[in-house]
Amino acid sequence: MTNHKGVLAWIDEITKLCEPNNVKWLDGSEKENQDLLEMMVKNGTAILLNQEKRPGCYLFRSDPSDVARVENRTFIASNKKSDAGPNNNWIDPLELKKTMNSLYQGSMRGRTMYVIPFSMGPIGSKLSKIGINVTDSPYVAVNMRIMTRIGQKVLDALGDNGEFVPCLHSVGYPLEKGQIDPTWPCAPIEQKYISHFPDERLIWSYGSGYGGNALLGKKCFALRIASAMARDEGWLAEHMLILKITNPEGKVKYMTGAFPSACGKTNLAMLTPTIPGWKVETVGDDIAWMKFGKDGRLYAINPEAGFFGVAPGTSYQTNYNAMKAIEYNTIFTNVALTDDGDVWWEGIGYDAPNHLIDWQGKDWYKGVSMTPAAHPNARFTVRADQCPVIASDWEAENGVPISAILIGGRRPTTVPLIHESFSWPHGIFMGSIMGSEITAATISDNIGKVRRDSFAMLPFIGYHVGDYLKHWLDIESMTKPEKLPKIYYVNWFRKDEFNHFLWPGYGENSRILKWIFERCDNQVHGVKTPIGYIPDPSDLDLSNLNISETAIKELLNVDKAEWMKECASIEAYYERFEDKLPKAIKDEFDSLMNRLKA
């Protein structure tokens, strides 16, 4: 337990407010975890999968109303509305607390309240932060054990007066005596609140039991609250993968990468290179915290301890290492169940059997059923150290030194395969304009337009996006320019006139990583264009790759007319920033326009 007066007082306050039947402090032990899982199997919340095929694996099915992050019910309750910015839903913190306090009153009646001390990052590291998560969901408890480091060791590291982020979660379904509990309790959509109080470093979540709405260490702490901490303390909390790349001579570099959803972030983090002698290993697949080391370089940690990955589309062909990781000790949510107790989802790499139980617990028949067997946002939760290519230093106490930052999105035209920024401010400008073209897969009237997502952070910044970009720019003044990572914009998704991808992607992306690696050491030439430096084709390792010179030329083409249209779209996007667009970003935009007109 703990003698931390602040923690004990807060737990006492929440216990009186939420009125649980029991309070249980989690120690993180294997026995405790098994007891929780067996309890959920017994009450029908969890399904134990075939232990010969999936040892230690369980399946959960959520309520159909509770299947994803609910952005329209996610709030930033900063003291001033202007601090929240155009991408956040703002509510006055006093008003929001009044509303939520009334919801929390008695919300855990009939339930056990779990107290989960957790560390984002290696326990005891100066780069890590500690939270205390209170929840009435045993599903959240077993997932938090995978996604973070939990238990008594965290309380020991916190000591008697350490700083912590209070994280309160309730499914919002109190039980009266004799009332039958649903297998997935949650509140109606209009009562769901995922609320952040950045000025107080406080997270309150009510009504949802799913994913980032309920696993409060993930987007809520590691990005929305941590981004505000990072601004105030001079570091970066980013929606980025971290990979380790080793060349044939044994030289190592580390890179981070920011990509919007559906752009292959996890695939890149777990990439299997196709070029001989090169090796890629995983440090993190989703979030990077970067802080300055004594040498003036940015060092990154993965604040998470697990992967909360999208199952549909994941296969041995698209991501072999993720599939190997989830062969055992994995929690699956909203995937389909086979008759022999295994899991299946669309894009798993082999045909569905004739019969399945779908993610809603209903019979599903191949060629007959018209709905997906697995929910498109079905997930797996697995410990990072089960990944076959996890880097040996993925939990390095002082983090790993970052040489390059990658950004990108799905762009079938305009944006080349790879280009490098001219400078740090130019790189921040590039990060501010990144995004993906809206496709028919998205229910939207804007098909063909670009949805811009600055550094893939628009849903996750805990304050104004303009101030966020200013913070990125301010990083330059905190060290010597040569110590900063180089910034690269990649686009694996460029297409030809027949709508075919020009670049093969997946493991072949290692060829681009190699060029970046060599550029960081000034071993290869960069060809200057109006938008940045692109490779000379002769410097790209295209050995044993079946790709035409025409395709390479198109992949690296920078069309000035297309980029002038791009600039009009960028200018429209920047109007959202109102008076908070940093002058340095506006200057970079003007410089790009001048280069295009030259």
> Is 249:521 a contact under the CB 8 Å cutoff?
no
Q: Which residues contact 202 (CB under 8 A, 6 or more apart)?
A: 165, 166, 196, 225
187: CB partners within 8 A, 6+ apart: 103, 171, 172, 173, 206, 207, 208
DSSP letter for each residue of 300-311: EE---SEEEEE-
Q: What Å distances lie between residue 135 and 186, 276, 331, CA to CA?
A: 13, 48, 18
Catalytic-role residue among 220, 263, 387, 567: 263
- Output the six-digit token pair for 472: 């990125």
DSSP string, 139-198: HHHHHHHHHSEESHHHHHHHTTT---EEEEEE-S----TTPPPPSS----GGG-EEEEET
Which tokens hold the place of 209?
Answer: 């039991």
Q: What string of H, E and C letters represents the secondary structure of 372-440?
A: CCCCCCCEEEEEHHHCCCECCCCCCCCCEEEEEEEEECCCCCCCCCEEECCCHHHHHHHHHHCEEECCC
Residues 6+ apart with CB under 8 A from 583: none
Which residues partner with 257 through β-bridges?
A: 241, 406
DSSP 8-20: HHHHHHHHHHH--
Closest CA to 484 of 236, 121, 281, 283: 236
**Nearest-10 Cα torsion for 70, 99, 232, 89:** 40
Residue 263 among the catalytic residues: yes
| Residue 284: both structure tokens together | 């993190």
- Distance between the two ends of the chain, CA-based, in angstroms? 67
Please give the single-letter amino acid code of residue 244.
Answer: K
Contact call for residues 402 and 352 (beta carbons, < 8 A): no
- Locus of tokens 């890179």: 255
Structure tokens at 550: 């025409």
According to DSSP, the residues that pair with 331 across neighbouring strands are: 58, 381
Q: Which residues are catalytic?
A: 263
